[in-house]
Amino acid sequence: MLKVSTTIHRKLLPGGALQTTGDSTRIEFLSPQAAAAQIFKMNSRSDRVPAQPAESGFAERQQMLERLIARTMEEFPDMSRQEVIEAIGDVRPEALKFIAPEAPSEPTQDDQS
Protein backbone atom coordinates (compact mmCIF):
# COMPACT_ATOMS: atom_id res chain seq x y z
CA MET A 1 0.00 0.00 0.00
CA LEU A 2 1.28 3.47 -0.88
CA LYS A 3 0.77 6.70 1.03
CA VAL A 4 0.79 9.77 -1.22
CA SER A 5 0.81 13.34 0.09
CA THR A 6 1.06 16.58 -1.86
CA THR A 7 1.93 19.96 -0.42
CA ILE A 8 1.24 23.16 -2.35
CA HIS A 9 3.65 25.96 -1.51
CA ARG A 10 2.39 29.55 -1.59
CA LYS A 11 3.72 32.93 -0.58
CA LEU A 12 1.87 36.08 0.43
CA LEU A 13 2.49 38.96 -1.97
CA PRO A 14 2.67 42.58 -0.76
CA GLY A 15 -0.85 43.26 -2.12
CA GLY A 16 -2.29 40.48 0.04
CA ALA A 17 -2.72 37.99 -2.79
CA LEU A 18 -1.36 34.46 -2.58
CA GLN A 19 1.01 33.18 -5.27
CA THR A 20 1.62 29.48 -5.84
CA THR A 21 5.36 28.89 -5.85
CA GLY A 22 5.34 25.14 -6.41
CA ASP A 23 4.34 21.82 -4.96
CA SER A 24 5.95 18.68 -3.65
CA THR A 25 4.65 15.14 -3.69
CA ARG A 26 5.83 12.43 -1.37
CA ILE A 27 5.18 8.73 -1.97
CA GLU A 28 5.86 6.21 0.77
CA PHE A 29 5.48 2.45 0.98
CA LEU A 30 3.60 1.45 4.11
CA SER A 31 4.77 -1.56 6.04
CA PRO A 32 2.46 -4.59 5.83
CA GLN A 33 1.35 -3.94 9.43
CA ALA A 34 0.55 -0.27 8.76
CA ALA A 35 -1.27 -1.18 5.52
CA ALA A 36 -3.35 -3.81 7.33
CA ALA A 37 -4.25 -1.28 10.02
CA GLN A 38 -5.33 1.27 7.38
CA ILE A 39 -7.44 -1.27 5.49
CA PHE A 40 -9.07 -2.40 8.74
CA LYS A 41 -9.82 1.24 9.63
CA MET A 42 -11.39 1.94 6.22
CA ASN A 43 -13.53 -1.20 6.30
CA SER A 44 -14.76 -0.70 9.86
CA ARG A 45 -15.67 2.94 9.21
CA SER A 46 -17.96 2.13 6.29
CA ASP A 47 -19.93 -0.32 8.44
CA ARG A 48 -20.60 2.15 11.25
CA VAL A 49 -21.32 5.31 9.29
CA PRO A 50 -25.01 5.55 8.45
CA ALA A 51 -25.87 6.57 4.92
CA GLN A 52 -26.85 10.24 4.68
CA PRO A 53 -28.74 11.91 1.89
CA ALA A 54 -26.55 13.70 -0.65
CA GLU A 55 -28.26 17.03 0.00
CA SER A 56 -27.11 17.24 3.62
CA GLY A 57 -23.51 16.57 2.53
CA PHE A 58 -23.77 19.35 -0.05
CA ALA A 59 -25.17 21.80 2.51
CA GLU A 60 -22.48 20.88 5.06
CA ARG A 61 -19.68 21.40 2.55
CA GLN A 62 -21.20 24.67 1.42
CA GLN A 63 -21.40 25.95 5.02
CA MET A 64 -17.84 24.81 5.75
CA LEU A 65 -16.51 26.61 2.67
CA GLU A 66 -18.41 29.79 3.56
CA ARG A 67 -16.84 29.68 7.05
CA LEU A 68 -13.43 29.16 5.44
CA ILE A 69 -13.97 32.16 3.14
CA ALA A 70 -15.11 34.37 6.02
CA ARG A 71 -12.17 33.31 8.23
CA THR A 72 -9.67 33.87 5.43
CA MET A 73 -11.07 37.34 4.77
CA GLU A 74 -10.72 38.13 8.50
CA GLU A 75 -7.10 36.89 8.51
CA PHE A 76 -6.24 38.74 5.28
CA PRO A 77 -8.45 41.86 5.18
CA ASP A 78 -6.90 42.99 1.87
CA MET A 79 -8.19 39.87 0.06
CA SER A 80 -11.55 40.08 -1.65
CA ARG A 81 -14.05 37.24 -1.60
CA GLN A 82 -13.26 36.54 -5.26
CA GLU A 83 -9.52 36.24 -4.53
CA VAL A 84 -10.22 33.75 -1.73
CA ILE A 85 -12.49 31.73 -4.04
CA GLU A 86 -9.76 31.71 -6.71
CA ALA A 87 -7.23 30.45 -4.15
CA ILE A 88 -9.61 27.66 -3.13
CA GLY A 89 -10.11 26.82 -6.80
CA ASP A 90 -6.33 26.59 -7.31
CA VAL A 91 -6.08 24.00 -4.54
CA ARG A 92 -9.42 22.17 -4.86
CA PRO A 93 -11.19 22.98 -8.16
CA GLU A 94 -13.98 20.51 -7.30
CA ALA A 95 -14.90 22.66 -4.26
CA LEU A 96 -16.05 25.55 -6.48
CA LYS A 97 -19.40 23.85 -7.13
CA PHE A 98 -20.24 24.32 -3.42
CA ILE A 99 -19.52 28.07 -3.35
CA ALA A 100 -22.29 30.56 -4.04
CA PRO A 101 -21.10 33.43 -6.29
CA GLU A 102 -22.50 36.12 -3.98
CA ALA A 103 -22.71 35.39 -0.29
CA PRO A 104 -22.81 37.29 2.99
CA SER A 105 -19.08 36.91 3.76
CA GLU A 106 -18.33 39.98 1.66
CA PRO A 107 -19.99 43.29 2.54
CA THR A 108 -22.04 44.84 -0.23
CA GLN A 109 -22.25 48.54 -1.11
CA ASP A 110 -25.51 48.77 0.87
CA ASP A 111 -23.76 47.45 4.02
CA GLN A 112 -21.01 50.05 3.80
CA SER A 113 -23.26 53.13 3.52
In tens, the pLDDT along 90-102 reads 888 888 888 876 6
48 lies in a domain? no
Asked, for residue 89, whether it belongs to a domain, the answer is: yes
Residues 18-70: tens digit of each pLDDT: 888 888 888 888 888 887 787 777 777 655 555 555 557 888 888 888 888 88
Beta strands in 1-113 (DSSP E): 2-12, 18-29
Whole-prediction pTM: 0.43
At residue 27, the pLDDT reads: 87
> Using CA atoms in the order 105, 107, 111, 113, what is the torsion angle rounded to 10 degrees?
160
All residues at 6 or more sequence positions from 58 whose CB lies less than 8 Å from its CB, including other chains: 98
The answer to which of 11-15, 28-32, 81-85 has the lowest mean pLDDT is 28-32
Residue 45 confidence (pLDDT)? 63
**The predicted structure's pLDDT at residue 47:** 52
List, in order, residues 6 or more apart from 77 with CB less than 8 Å away: 16
Cβ of 24: how many Cβ atoms within 10 Å?
A: 9
For residue 25, is it within any domain? yes
Q: Is 90 a member of any domain?
A: yes
Domains in the chain, number: 1
pLDDT recorded at residue 46: 52
Range of the domain at 25: 2-30+53-103
Tell whether 59 is covered by a domain: yes
